[in-house]
Structure 1
Amino acid sequence: MQVLLSIPRTLAHCAVASMVSMLLMPAAHAQKPGATQQQLARQSCEGLRRAVAEDQKGAASGPLFLASYRLADNKQGSPPLEPALAGAAFTYDNALAGIALLACGDTASAKRIGDAVVRAMERDPGMPDGRVRNAYRAGPMTEDKAALPGRWDAGKKQWIADAYQVSTATGNVAWAALLLLNLSEAERSQAYLASARKLLGWTEQRTRATNAPDGYNGGWYGWDNAQRAQTWKSTEHNIDIAMAAAWAARAGGSNDAERQQARTALDFVNRMWNASEQRFNIGTKEDGATISTEGSGLDAQLWPLLAAPEGSCAWTRGLEWVEKNHRFGEGYGFSRNPDGIWTEGSAQAAATLVARKGAAPEALWQLLASQRADNGLYYATPSARISTGLAIGPDSAGADFYYYRWPHLGATAWIALAATGFNPFTGKTTAAGAIPSCPT
């Protein structure tokens, strides 16, 4: 019989209250980066800066979104880019890229992406409630309203858009908030902090689902005139909210609501810890109540360890589960018993190992280095295609969410974060004190 470790709410309250001191404790176990890691840091940062230069299209300043996928110059080994992805700037990828650019020392470029997020919140074309969409049109923001991705089909004489891209997933909102919080710390900006709080307020108002286990659901899906709630709850989304809300709460001001939000989200994550298997359940099923125990997502296993709230020492055994169930060659795959390497997730594993153990294996750094495309970004996978076991949205007929061998902004950003030792959940490098050692 499966046993779930359900930490009482009083302990979750203590978890959030002591998160600040935990995250500021020195991590003496950090090791000096090796040559491959240092090279990855340089080259991934160069790739991100090149993406900024390419997508700004002559506009050297102002709000800017970066394309999530672009073909390598020689196009060798890559399938044709899906039309729906051409010029699409996913919010999650851009939030990661902005945080990674801060880690790379390019605050000016990071601010351009942050400013694009803020402008998108303020000038949504159809939902003026402070949300962000899952994706926007890549390039400088020159129109009065935030431009959503899509394309004109001359044959059909109609505008073609993607329902997922115009929807709003809770995790993407939380990552947009994390970008703005990182910028508020780097710039000491109350404006970025205020915008991050608006995003957190949106998640509280629109995605909180109090049916047990209390937490935040998947967001809203569909066209503007017919959006419907995604009633499942995700471990990944809730750790994102927990960290963003705790960060906003300790930034000062009127923060009682954010403290409570952090407690709620963190308590959900605690309830997803599967003590009998020493790993995290991925979340709930569609009813928002039944725990989903079958599948696994690598990010849901790693992000709580990288975020490292109080009590997370009990979770470190999850690394052993990841090794047994997500390992593929020298890297890691998205799903349980994966069918290939997920570059982004392998970089997440490297970042978690650096934060938790002080270093990642040289073979893992070399694997990541081998995925560099000639346009400076890194391929999403070495394979032609890998599966995730997940559906893109409720309209999907099955598990149709795949990663392809395309140079990917998100993979590049995670490599930069891992190689520089920068923790996106805390805004600090490992050497500056990210995660304290756990007792053995």
Structure 2
Amino acid sequence: MTNDGTQDSTDSSNFALRPLSRRLLIGGGAALGVGMTTLGAPSAEAAPGTLAASWNGRSSRAAVRFLKGVTNAYRSTGPRLAQSYQDQSGLTDVAFTYDNALAIIALLRAGEGASAKALGDGLLYAQTHDETFTDGRLRQAYHADDFILTGGNAHFAYEYGLVGTAVGDMAWAGIALAQLARATGIERYRTGAVRIAQWIQDNTYSTTGLGGYTFGATAGLETRKSTEHNIDVAGFFRLIQTLTGQRVWRNRSDHAWAMVESVWNEEDGFFWTGSEGDGATINKLGSQLPLDPQTWSWLVRRQRAYAPALDWAATNLATTDTPQRLNSALTGNQKVTGVAFASGSLQADTSAQIDQYNPKPDSGAVWFEGSAQLALALALRNGKGDKAAAQDLLKAAIWAQDELGDGQLYNGKRIEGGVVAASSPLQTGFGFGYYPNLHVGATSWLVFAATGINPYVF
């Protein structure tokens, strides 16, 4: 994308990204065989069906080097945040809160404590230096370059409309800070995590409609309830209970989980995406059935009654991208099989642009973050055929690490080992897309899947 917001058609290797993310729009163990350490923390939850292999170790180490590199892309001292997507993505130096939370956990579990703490301190700085709010909330995204403005405020990404606060973002930031607190014993991380938990409780707790927790402080979405967000809260509050020893947080976790259970589709074996705007009516739109609630529900609670959600995702969101797919970005003999973001990705209108800034979608595009998520969930379930299926999904993400994103930069620097968000332009069905841009979030999930780390647990 050029500086005036128009698509630069001369460079087909870079795809602009509309300034939105799924966290805004979806309303409706030990490391295994890779020599990673945990800074003295209790062992990470390990996948019973281990994915350990020589290529896992090589890929996870490369991914960690990438995450460390982007953490230091603009500065190597002081609190900071990592730019989420490569320079030419259309979002320049924007650092999404969710992506940085994932990077913190991945770096921490990989023994890169200094980098993990730098990003954690970045979240804490943003929490305590907002230009408007003093209640402990975080914005959806900030700038990685001039993160701290002249007056001392954290520079949130208002230029892109990323000014709201979503419960899912808050929960993931809280999970990351809780992981830091548990691993390091440093009180500031515990304090920050508890402030986030209290903000969620004070501002989004609901006893009406589907119950649970509402979307957050995001214009137009305040009353909606997201299954994904409530899963995040259920997992986060369990960690807060452990950190504080206060039973009330377990009760609050159960309150969030009750909302998740209320949107279970028993007949078809999957979770609906959430509610309509009234917070009570389940969103049953056939084009808005996403992967995340299926995988994350298993990572958080692992209740056998909901195990079919993983099978639903593995079957109904499976896709293969090849150069012959309409609007595919793949070339030559490239081919990759994985999963899509949601049902709407597979139903995408390939004749229409994803949005005014971006190209037409490939309805067979593979979402690599989701492929790694499902790989981890299947490995942890460890049922018949799960290990083989998990390995295939993980290999897809590793293939992308090796084959896609070459030449993409962070602050003008080439940093090896990252994973692109999608194999080709991908329509999510929720009004935004993913593209073949190097992505901190996708790279972090590769680390989790390759090493058997469940980010939701200590």
TM normalised by structure 1 equals 0.78
Which position in structure 2 is the counterpart of 1:404?
A: 435
Query: In the alignment, which of 347, 353, 360 is matched to residue 372 of structure 2?
Result: 347
Counterpart of 1:54 (choices 53, 73, 80) is 73
The separation in 2 between residues aligned to 1:103 and 1:24, in whole angstroms, is 9
Q: Deviations over 1:199-235 (max 9, x none)?
A: 011111111222121111111224xxxxx55211011
Indicate the residue corresponding to 1:328 in structure 2. Answer: 319
Relative distance call for 1:25 and 1:387 in structure 2 (3 A) is closer
* 2:189 matches 1:192: yes
- Partner in structure 2 of residue 422 of structure 1: 453
1:64 to 67, 80, 102: 80
Q: 1:246 to 1:26 in 2, by over 3 A?
A: closer
Per-residue CA deviations over 1:354-402 (Å, capped at 9, x if unaligned) read: 222273544323321222234322111111x101111xxxxxxxx2x11
- Distance in 2 of aligned mates of 1:137 and 1:54: 12
**Which amino acid is 2:160 matched to?**
D
Kept after mapping to 1: 8 A contact 2:45/2:452: no
Residue 54 of structure 1 and its aligned partner are, at CA, apart by: 1.5
How far off is 1:189 after superposition? 2.6
Quick one: which of 251, 254, 260 aligns to 1:269? 260
Contact persistence 1:63–1:140 (CA under 8 A): no
Q: Percent identity?
A: 33
Query: Following the alignment from structure 1 to structure 2, what is the Cα–Cα distance between the partners of residues 352 and 286?
Result: 30
1:146 aligns with 2:154: yes
Equivalent residue for 1:380, pick from 421, 428, 441: 421
Paired AA for residue 115 in structure 1:
D
- CA offsets, 1:266-293, max 9 Å, x none? 1111212211111111111111000112
Deviation readout 1:25-57 (Å, 9 max, x if unpaired): 98783336122222221111111111123232x
Opposite residue 386 of structure 1, the aligned amino acid is L
Tell me which amino acid in the other structure corresponds to 1:132: L
Deviations 1:284-335 (A, max 9, x none): 11110001123211011110111225xx111111122112211112200001
Structure 1 residues 28 and 111, CA, compared in 2 at 3 Å: closer, same or farther?
closer
User: In 2 relative to 1, CA 206–54 (structure 1 residues): closer, same or farther, beyond 3 Å?
Assistant: same
CA contact 2:108–2:116 (8 Å) conserved in 1: yes
Matches within 5 A, 1:14-413: 29-31=48-50, 33-56=52-75, 60-71=76-87, 80-82=88-90, 85-139=91-145, 141-143=147-149, 144-149=152-157, 161-163=159-161, 165-222=162-219, 230-253=222-245, 255-294=246-285, 295-308=288-301, 312-329=303-320, 330-336=337-343, 338=346, 339=363, 340-357=365-382, 359=387, 360-372=389-401, 373-374=405-406, 375-376=415-416, 377-383=418-424, 385-390=425-430, 399=431, 401-413=432-444
Whether the 8 Å contact between 2:46 and 2:453 is mirrored in structure 1 is no
Kept after mapping to 1: 8 A contact 2:375/2:391? no
Runs of 4+ aligned structure 1 residues displaced above 4 Å come to 23-28
| Gap change, CA 1:148 and 1:121, over 3 Å in 2 | same
Opposite residue 176 of structure 2, the aligned amino acid is L
Q: How many angstroms apart in 1 are the aligned matches of 2:145 and 2:47?
A: 42
Contact 2:45 2:457 in 1 (8 A): no
C-alpha change, 1:92 and 1:28, in structure 2 (3 Å) is closer
Is the 2:394–2:449 contact (alpha carbons within 8 Å) kept by the matching residues of 1?
no
- Give the Cα–Cα distance (whole angstroms) in 2 for the partners of residues 289 and 407 of structure 1: 37
- CA offset at residue 141 of structure 1? 4.5
Looking at structure 1, the residues matched to 258 and 65 of structure 2 have their Cα atoms a distance apart, in angstroms, of 39
The question of whether the paired residues in 2 share the 8 Å contact of 1:278 and 1:317 is answered with yes
Deviation at 1:256, TM superposition (A): 4.1
1:95-145 deviations in Å (ceiling 9; x for gaps): 011111112210110111111111111111112211000001114754411
| SS in structure 2 of the partner of residue 331 of structure 1 | strand
Match of 2:29 in 1: none
The amino acid that maps onto 1:343 is F
1:162 Cα deviation from its structure 2 partner: 2.2
Distance 1:416 1:189 in 2: 24
| Residues 51 and 450 in structure 2, CA contact (< 8 A), matched pair in contact too | no
Shift of 1:190: 2.9
Alignment partners' CA distance in 2, 1:65 and 1:28? 30
1:217 and 1:289 map into 2 onto residues whose CA distance is 11
Say if 1:24 and 1:235 are closer, same or farther in 2 by CA, change over 3 A. farther
| Residue 24 of structure 1, CA deviation | 9.5
C-alpha separation in 1, matches of 2:164 and 2:50: 42
Distance 2:252 2:48 in 1: 32
Q: Residues 54, 293 of structure 1: CA spacing in aligned structure 2 closer, same or farther, 3 A cutoff?
A: same
SS in 1 for 2:366: coil
Does structure 2 retain, via aligned residues, the 8 Å contact 1:36–1:362?
no
RMSD: 2.1
Distance in 2 (CA, whole Å) between partners of 1:296 and 1:27 is: 29
Unaligned regions of 5+ residues in structure 2, if any? 1-41, 321-336, 347-362, 407-414
Q: Secondary structure of 2:222's partner?
A: strand
State the distance in 2 between where 1:140 and 1:300 align. Answer: 34
Q: Is this contact kept in 2: 1:62–1:140, CA < 8 A?
A: no
Q: Distance in 2 between matches of 1:27 and 1:172?
A: 25
Q: 1:196 to 1:288 in 2, by over 3 A?
A: same
Contact 2:136 2:199 in 1 (8 A): yes
Structure 2 equivalent of residue 434 of structure 1: none
Equivalent residue of 1:114, what SS? helix
Contact persistence 1:328–1:341 (CA under 8 A): yes
Matched letter for residue 389 of structure 1: G
More strand by share: 1
